[in-house]
Amino acid sequence: MKKLLSTILTVSFILSCAACSKSEETTKMKKKVKKTTKTEVSEDPTEVPSEPSVDPTDSDPTSSTNSRGGVTNPSAYTTFTMFICTPGNEINDDNDVQTLIADLTGCMVKETYLIGQTETDAIGSILASGILPDLFYANDSAYDLYQSETLIPWDTYLADPAYSNLRSLFTDAQWELFRQSDGHIYWADVFASQNGENQKNTFEEPAFWIQTRVLEWAGYPLITTLDEYFALIESYYAEHKTNADGTDIIPFTSITEGWRNFALRLPPLLLDGYSDTYPLGVDTTDPDNPQVFDYNTSETAKAYYKKLNECYKNGLIDQDFGVMDYEEYASKLSTGAVLGMFDAYWDFCYCTNEFFSTAGMGGLGYEYVPLGLTIDSGMENHYFSGRSTIKTLSGVCVSTSCKDPDLLFTFLNRILDQDIHDLRFWGVEQEDYLIDDTTGLYYRTPAMVSASQDYSYQAAHLCPYSYLPQFSGTSRDGINAMKSADQPSVFVTNCPESIQKYFLAYGYDSYCDSLRSSETEWEPWEPISTFTNSLDTTTAGGVTYLRITELQTEYLPQLVRADDFDAVWDEYMTEYKNLDRDALVAETQQYVDTMEALVG
């Protein structure tokens, strides 16, 4: 049934692309949308064009009224289609802010998210159909799209001053990291660009997470080690077996399906105090001479999996561990029944913290906060680096099916102007935020905060275009944060009550504070997965890496569920240590050294 549903959803997406393409052609015939609609980059980033790029009087019988009382006329705009290779929530077709952005640009993007399939299967189905969206946001599949010759190079646009906003996303040296073997750039990471000073309050990366109700029940203790974490969960679970609605509580779980098994493979590295350089470690004790190493045979790795094994035997770990798929995992999290897990926030956020408040589950303490745990007390941790890692193997890309790439790249450039960036990440002035007359700071009233947390309001009104190019950091006005979530005054009041109580109890101002991490500088070779994901069987290191992935997929879940942990560990280590790990480390070290030299 799931496979059938997935196929139906993919076919529906392909048909929607075809429909949008047909509508776009009709629109171009009616409106004669020209490439000359390019927006010249203004010296004043807040300048707004005095007139919309389409004729507002030219109505269409298919127009409808949106929630602001305005007339939405999709045929008056060029609509681009986009497939986003991750789960998410679509906005309404008559979304207010999307319409305002379309009024300013003449364009809108119809976003479709991954549902019920793996990224590989979905992309495979789309490529097989021959009907591609105009845009992809791709994770692991970006390189596959490149190899299938279905992407348009960015180089011409990045070299054109008319697209200077896009060029400013990264430095020249950083853009070089995206260049492929044919000499061209085909995509850009949309989450790693920072303007001005860092304003980060949220944390989206991998960590150990725990519900606020557990910490509140225990009197908000300081939890810094793996043993303390599981001891707290065990103590809480001893007195709380079910939620108020009768749902059985699951003390701890983790996802192991497909590429998401990083949630099982990564923790030993972080527990030893290193930053996230998965799937290998990099020792930066000497910052001028970073050294690659394999952490998978360490004492900490053995201790971690043995701890999980003990917890599994004691009933503290989900009995479906290692066999459930992502949908089942997300479904469990959405009930509020899971006390803790290891995962990246971007992998589960849509079905937890914000979901709880809109599903009538707010105020129960189900919200998750991250902890920067180490294997022993007194160790520094590096879960949060203080800056974004540039992920050069994933990002937004434009397909060869796009009939007007000039217009699309003009749109991507234009939505980085401050006026539209504010619309995307702050909303509409007077409706979603106010401006202090004295300080110039943006702020929200309690009613605005409440509205911004409501899923129905988000779907009807807000349009962040979350997987298109964007900036974090400081607004070009030098006062405000680029994103409302990073504005200190807005961030705290925007958090659920249980999170606010948590911050107050510990004296934290943000999720990042709760990790208590030592910040590190950005390294040009980060993430290491940029290199390891490109490995294949043509090199000894590639053969080793692929075999390590197979071994860990097979053995790590077994270690957690094993009756005789030591026997399974010894068997795993025997096979693991027979691999040519030196070749993998050497090839990865060469990549690190090359990237260091490239950026200087």
Per-residue pLDDT of 121-159, as tens digits, reads 999 999 999 999 999 999 889 999 999 999 999 999 999
How many CB atoms within 10 Å of residue 419?
Answer: 17
Q: Which residue shows structure tokens 């109505």?
A: 59
Contact criterion met (CB below 8 Å) for 353 and 210: no
Query: What pLDDT is stored for residue 126 in this prediction?
Result: 96
How many CB atoms within 10 Å of residue 378?
Answer: 7
Contact criterion met (CB below 8 Å) for 491 and 201: yes
- R_g over Cα of the chain: 24
Instruction: Return d(Cα 441, Cα 481) in angstroms, integer.
Output: 9
Instruction: Return d(Cα 526, Cα 304) in angstroms, integer.
Output: 25
Query: What pLDDT is stored for residue 260 in this prediction?
Result: 93
Chain centroid to Cα 287, Å, comes to: 28
Nearest to 350, CA basis, from 12, 90, 82, 566: 90
Contacts of 494 (CB under 8 A, 6+ apart): 444, 449, 452, 453, 484, 485
Query: What pLDDT is stored for residue 521 in this prediction?
Result: 77
Question: Residues of CATH 3.40.190.10 domain(s) within the chain?
Answer: 2-195+392-473, 204-383+497-600
Q: Which residue shows structure tokens 């270690």?
A: 559
How many CB atoms within 10 Å of residue 119?
Answer: 19
Q: How confident is the model over 239-292, as pLDDT tens digits?
A: 999 999 999 999 999 999 998 999 999 999 999 999 999 999 999 999 899 999
Q: Please name the amino acid found at residue 280.
A: L
Instruction: Please state, in angstroms and as integers, the Cα–Cα distance from residue 419 to each residue in 45, 114, 446, following that order.
Output: 7, 30, 24
Instruction: Return d(Cα 24, Cα 75) in angstroms, integer.
Output: 8
Calculated CA dihedral for residues 371, 375, 378, 379, nearest 10 degrees = -80
Residues of the chain under the 50 pLDDT cut? 1-9, 11, 15, 19, 21-65, 67-71
Helices (H) and strands (E) in the chain, counts: 26, 17
Give the pair of three-digit tokens for residue 352: 């937890």
Query: What pLDDT is stored for residue 25 in this prediction?
Result: 42
Give the pair of three-digit tokens for residue 373: 């745990």
Could you tell me how many residues make up the chain? Answer: 600
Q: Which residues is 206 bridged to in the sheet?
A: 344
Instruction: Return d(Cα 509, Cα 76) in angstroms, integer.
Output: 45
Instruction: Return d(Cα 427, Cα 446) in angstroms, integer.
Output: 15
Instruction: Return d(Cα 515, Cα 228) in angstroms, integer.
Output: 15
Query: What pLDDT is stored for residue 26 in this prediction?
Result: 37
Contact criterion met (CB below 8 Å) for 338 and 479: no
DSSP assignment, residue 581? Answer: H
Instruction: Return d(Cα 411, Cα 31) in angstroms, integer.
Output: 17
Question: If DSSP codes are grouped into helix, strand and coil, which group holds residue 219?
Answer: coil
- How big is the CA angle at 443 (ends 439 and 445), to the nearest 5 degrees? 135
Burial zone of 502 (CB within 10 Å; 0-12 exposed, 13-18 middle, 19+ buried): buried
Q: Please name the amino acid found at residue 89.
A: N
CATH number for the region 204-383+497-600 comes to: 3.40.190.10
Query: What pLDDT is stored for residue 453 in this prediction?
Result: 83
H or E element at residue 81: strand 78-84
Instruction: Return d(Cα 458, Cα 423) in angstroms, integer.
Output: 13
Instruction: Return d(Cα 266, Cα 369) in angstroms, integer.
Output: 19
Fold of 2-195+392-473: D-Maltodextrin-Binding Protein; domain 2 (3.40.190)
Query: What pLDDT is stored for residue 75 in this prediction?
Result: 67
Nearest to 109, CA basis, from 414, 419, 392: 414
Q: Which residues is 340 bridged to in the sheet?
A: 210, 252
